[in-house]
Amino acid sequence: MNSAVVQTTNFMSAFFDVIVIGVGSMGSSTCYHLSNRGFKVLGLEQFDISHEFGAHAGQSRIIRRAYFENSDYVPLLTKAYENWKALETETATQVYFQTGLVYFGPAEHLLMKGVKQSASLYNIPLEHIDNESAAKRFPQFKIPGDFEILFEPEAGFITPENAIRLYAKQARKKGAEIHTREKVSEWRKEGDGVVVTTDKNIYRCNKLIITAGAWAGKIIPFLSEKIKVTRQFVAWIQPHSSASAPGMQQWDHFALGEFPCWLMTDNFTQGCYYGFPILPESEFGEPAGLKLAHHYPAMTTDPDHVNRLMMACDEEDLKYVLDKYLPGCFESLLSYKICLYANSPDEDFIVDLLPGHEDRVAIACGFSGHGFKFASMIGEILADLATRGKTDLPIEFLGLKRFLA
Ligand SMILES: Cc1cc2nc3c(=O)[nH]c(=O)nc-3n(C[C@H](O)[C@H](O)[C@H](O)COP(=O)(O)OP(=O)(O)OC[C@H]3O[C@@H](n4cnc5c(N)ncnc54)[C@H](O)[C@@H]3O)c2cc1C
C-alpha cells in the first residue's frame, strides 16, 4: 500500500461523533458510556491505560456516601455505586470492596459534622462507637479519649487501575477506538464541529469531551489559572510481623477482611489522613503493604515536571500519623508513590459544558483528590452533556457558573 492510500484511509476514518481527550479515570468511563449508547467514539490518551503519572495510580481509592465535603454529592454517589455494580456484573470482575470505613476525630470538627449531616439527611447507615468498644474493635489505632468514632459499614474501596482497564476494554468491545501514547496538542472549533490535533494525526468530531486530569489547565485555556496541581505522597509500610511488645500490632491485624478503610482528622493538621487494609501485591507494582496518605492539597507542581522522589516533608508527615495514631505498627517503608491532585479553587469538581462553544465541548476536571469514587457516573453525565446537551443528574453545584460571576 502506498503512503497516499494510507493518508486517505486515515482521513476517511478520522471523523467521530465524540472525541474524549484523556482516557484515565473519567475518560475511560466516558468512552464506555458513549460507546454503550452506540456513538462513534475516539479516546486519546497520552500515556497507557492505566499509568502512574496522573491521578489514578496506587491500587485503591476510598468510596463512601456520608460525604463530609458537601451533602449535594450524595445523590451522585448513589448513582456511582449503582454504576460500579453494573460494571462488575457486566465484566464478572470485582472492583468494589466493602470493608467499612472508620472515621475518627474531634466531634466538633467540620469533617465529622459533615459525615453526620450527610448520613442523617440521606439515611445512610452510620454507627456511633464509644471509645471502649472502638479499642476492642479497632485495636490497631490509638484513638484519643475525646475523639468521636463513626463507622460507615457500606463504605470501602475501588481498585482504580483495574476499573479503568475494564471500562476501556468494554468500550473497545462496543466499538470505541482508544489510542494510547498519543498526546493532544491542540483543539479548536471549526465550522459545525471540532478539530483535534495530536502528535500523530488530526481528527474531527461533532462533540468534544475533555477529561485531562492534572493537564486540564494546559488544554483548556479558561482553566489555566484555576486548576492548581499538587504533588501527593502515598506510602506502603510493612507492619511488624509479630506482636513482640504490648500494644504492637502485627501484620495480619491489618489484612483485608480484618481491617477497615479509615479516615482521621485532628485539630493540628490540614485535611485528613486515611488508609486501607493490606491487599495482595498488585499486577501494577504495588506491594502487599499497609497503604496510608494525607488528603490535603500539598506542594504545587507542573504535571510534566514532578519530583517523584520522597522528600523530607513526606517522611515527616508519615511519621506524624504513624507515631500518633498507629504507634508501634511501623517496621519499614516498603514503597511510595507520588500522584497528582488537580484542585479546583473551592475543591468541588468542575463538570459542565464549556461556555462559548455552542454546547460542543464538555469538561470534567478539578476533582481535587476525591473524584475517583464518582468516575462510574461522571462518564454517564459527560455522555449526557455531549449527546443531549443536559443531564438529569443533579450537577448544578459543579457548574462553571460559580467562577463566572
Ligand atoms: C494520592 C491520591 C489519592 C486519592 N484517593 C482517592 C480516594 O481515596 N477516593 C477518591 O474518590 N478519589 C481519590 N483520589 C482522587 C482521584 O484519584 C482523582 O480525582 C481522579 O483519579 C481524577 O480523574 P481524572 O480522570 O480527572 O484524572 P486521570 O485519571 O489522571 O486522567 C486524566 C488523563 O488525561 C490524560 N491526558 C491529559 N492531557 C492529555 C493530552 N493532552 N492528550 C492525551 N491525554 C491526556 C492523562 O494522561 C490521564 O490519563 C486520589 C488521588 C490521589 C492523587
Q: Is the pLDDT of residue 241 over 90?
A: no
Pocket test for ligand 1, best of 33, 49, 56 (most atoms within 8 A of CB): 56
State pLDDT tens for residues 393-403: 999 999 999 99
Rounded to the nearest angstrom, the distance between the alpha carbon of 401 and the centre of ligand 1 is 23
- Ranges of H-type helices in 100-156: 110-121, 131-137
**Does residue 84 lie within any of the structural domains?**
no
Report, as an integer, the average pLDDT of 176-199: 96
Helix (H) or strand (E) holding 361: strand 361-365
Regarding the beta carbon of 126 and ligand 1, being less than 6 Å apart is answered: no
Radius of gyration of the chain (CA): 22
Q: Is the pLDDT of residue 6 over 80?
A: no
Q: Which residue has the cell 485535611?
A: 271
Q: Which residue has the cell 459542565?
A: 352
Grid coordinates in use for 20?
474524549
Residue 252, phi then psi, degrees to nearest 5 = -70, -15
Q: Which residue has the cell 477506538?
A: 177
Clarify whether residues 138 and 263 are in a common domain: yes
Clarify whether residues 284 and 311 are in a common domain: yes
- What average pLDDT does the chain have? 93
Clarify whether residues 268 and 362 are in a common domain: no
Q: Which residue has the cell 496510608?
A: 292
Clarify whether residues 221 and 233 are in a common domain: no
How many other CB atoms are found less than 10 A from the CB of residue 194? 21
Q: Is the pLDDT of residue 65 over 60?
A: yes
Regarding the beta carbon of 340 and ligand 1, being less than 6 Å apart is answered: yes
**Which residues of 50-192 form beta strands (DSSP E)?**
61-63, 96-98, 101-106, 127-129, 147-152, 156-158, 177-179, 184-190
How many other CB atoms are found less than 10 A from the CB of residue 75? 15
Rounded to the nearest angstrom, the distance between the alpha carbon of 56 and the centre of ligand 1 is 5
Q: Is the pLDDT of residue 141 over 80?
A: yes
Instruction: Compute the C-alpha angle 275/280/283, nearest 5°.
Output: 105
Domain tally, the chain? 2
* Domain boundary pick from 290, 313, 343: 343
State pLDDT tens for residues 292-332: 999 999 999 999 999 999 999 999 999 999 999 999 889 99
**Residue whose C-alpha is closest to residue 201's, from 183, 217, 214:** 183
Q: How confident is the model at residue 41 (pLDDT cuts 50, 70, 90)?
A: very high
* Domain boundary pick from 323, 343, 363: 343
Q: What pLDDT does residue 10 have?
A: 47
Q: Is the pLDDT of residue 2 over 80?
A: no
**Does residue 362 lie within any of the structural domains?**
yes
The CATH code of the domain that includes 151 is 3.30.9.10
Tell me, yes or no, if the pTM score tops 0.75: yes
How many other CB atoms are found less than 10 A from the CB of residue 380? 22
**Does residue 74 lie within any of the structural domains?**
no
Q: What pLDDT does residue 63 have?
A: 98
Q: Which domain holds residue 178?
A: 3-55+161-226+346-404
Between strands 177-179 and 41-44, the pairing is parallel
Integer distance in angstroms from the first to the last C-alpha of the chain? 56
Q: Is the pLDDT of residue 11 over 60?
A: no
If DSSP codes are grouped into helix, strand and coil, which group holds residue 342? strand
State pLDDT tens for residues 87-115: 999 999 999 999 999 999 999 999 999 99
Q: Whose CA is nearest to atom 27 of ligand 1?
A: 213
Q: What pLDDT does residue 242 have?
A: 56
Regarding the beta carbon of 275 and ligand 1, being less than 6 Å apart is answered: no
Q: What pLDDT does residue 250 have?
A: 65
Q: CA-to-CA distance for 339 and 162, rounded, in angstroms?
A: 17
Report, as an integer, the average pLDDT of 354-369: 96
The CATH code of the domain that includes 371 is 3.50.50.60
Q: CA-to-CA distance for 179 and 23, rounded, in angstroms?
A: 9
Q: How confident is the model at residue 197 (pLDDT cuts 50, 70, 90)?
A: very high
**Does residue 65 lie within any of the structural domains?**
no
Q: Whose CA is nearest to atom 45 of ligand 1?
A: 22
**Does residue 67 lie within any of the structural domains?**
no
Clarify whether residues 233 and 222 are in a common domain: no
Q: Is the pLDDT of residue 7 over 50?
A: no
* Domain boundary pick from 343, 364, 384: 343
Q: Is the pLDDT of residue 3 over 50?
A: no
Share of the chain above pLDDT 70, in %: 94
Residue 52, phi then psi, degrees to nearest 5 = -110, 20
Q: Is the pLDDT of residue 248 over 60?
A: no
**Residue whose C-alpha is closest to residue 1's, from 198, 10, 162:** 10
**Does residue 307 lie within any of the structural domains?**
yes
State pLDDT tens for residues 73-84: 999 999 999 999
Q: Which residue has the cell 449503582?
A: 82
Grid coordinates in use for 78?
448513589
Q: CA-to-CA distance for 160 and 237, rounded, in angstroms?
A: 20
Q: What pLDDT does residue 282 have?
A: 83
Amino acid letter, 49: I
**Does residue 391 lie within any of the structural domains?**
yes
**Does residue 103 lie within any of the structural domains?**
yes
Q: Is the pLDDT of residue 214 over 50?
A: yes
Q: Is the pLDDT of residue 12 over 80?
A: no
Clarify whether residues 137 and 239 are in a common domain: yes
Following DSSP, what letter does each residue of 21-39 receive, concatenated? E--SHHHHHHHHHHHHTT-
Rounded to the nearest angstrom, the distance between the alpha carbon of 234 and the centre of ligand 1 is 15
